[in-house]
A and B are shown apart, each in its own frame.
Chain A
């Protein structure tokens, strides 16, 4: 930079920079204009449609919104507790599963087999069905009395479902680290598990952080699934009010709350992606 200042700019360079500025101004103008056209067009289309006045009343009623928001929000607090708890559990369990699956030691063979079966099964069953099965199946077993809180059972079901997925993400990360890294770790005298902990995992996990957080976006929405076994979380709370007043605004309120936690995470993922070369 300091060097550039000492070199006098040639005609040619000034010309090129001016052209670049013109091009970027034109780009910005086109982007602005096309946005106005597309968004404005859509707005006109919706707002002038025959059904709009009725839709506005049943989906976007401000009075209904204010009326329902408190209860939907307190329901959402349960969603937040569930997905945060599940996220922590999934991070730990999925890592354990991945480490077992990449291990070579013959002593771990039975565990490796179990992990593989667990991952296949947990990924293969629809999450909604898993919630149902755990939510009704575990109480029926009557192992613990009284039957555990359905919200906890729902959280367990989500943990099972997502641990399978996330362990595969971890495993992909571990396998993406070049074999030479493992060789070098052994060559400096580390044990296999030190090599894993100090060399392979830090690199592998960094690489798969974006897909891993992507799975968490999906998990934060799926927290709503626990409602089918009873707990009144945001979606269920909204549904109850909607049933009483025949107005869908509470559901829109719930949708906004889910967006409030998923969109920021999506932006974080966007920022992380593409830090290592690749197409920007």
Chain B
């Protein structure tokens, strides 16, 4: 097996008194997709944000392509340029068009020329089914379209890995499919991903591994068939049972 793209080792994180991550270990290999599941408040978003250096960790380290990125000497900006992040609430820039949203990283973070960035931006939008919506403001797009713009924006910087934080949770049910299709497309293209999600059937379909996060620890980690169908831990069984009762599986 080739060297891992992402390695999380013993990461802890507290917000004031509240200990959110209590020692996380996770390895994500090249072209691998890891689904992060767990109850609301279990720390999924915090873990993804720590990997993208949007939060400062307290202890442990994160490695990207074998290099430590959580060292104070490492420039967080340079690290974020090698990663992509898709937010639950899209977080598109409302004062820019969809195309400008997709281009902004290329233009201003990666120093591409305008024509080049625009060509790539248009191609990416077409790839995610957004041809014709280039000049629309995010407000004029549906939630599903907005999230696909956000995925294109994150992907435009040619990231080594994509971090997706419950990218379908803010969507109306009938719009979930189109966004999942975009993620499936990325998986097929070989993108390395960490996907926080509540969509268990989707996790089963695209994830190579499922990590169950509970109270700041990864309690269970393994192939989806094992973790989702034959969970070993009582907490995992209870969590899946609750989802089942709520009709989410």
Binding site for B on A (CB under 8 A): 178, 180-181, 183-191, 194, 198-199, 202-203, 206
Contacts and interface: CB of A to CB of B under 8 A. Distances in A.
Contacts of A191: 77
A208 to B, nearest CB: 14
Interface of B: 49, 52, 54, 76-77, 80-81, 83-85, 87, 89, 91-95, 104-105, 108-110, 153-154, 156-157
B80 A184 contact: no
B80 A186 contact: yes
Given A189-B157, A198-B104, A198-B108, A184 B95 contact: no
Contacts of A199: 93
B95 A188 contact: no
Given A202-B95, A203-B94, A188 B87 contact: no
Contacts of B110: 189
Nearest to A183: B54
Nearest to B107: A198
B154 A187 contact: yes
A243 to B, nearest CB: 54
Contacts of A188: 80, 104-105, 109, 153-154, 156-157
A194 to B, nearest CB: 6
A187 B154 CA distance: 8
Given A183-B85, A190-B108, 17 more contacts: A178-B91, A181-B93, A183-B54, A185-B93, A186-B54, A186-B76, A186-B77, A187-B85, A188-B80, A188-B153, A188-B154, A191-B77, A194-B108, A194-B109, A198-B104, A202-B95, A203-B94
A188 to B, nearest CB: 4
Given A189-B109, A189-B157, A183 B104 contact: no
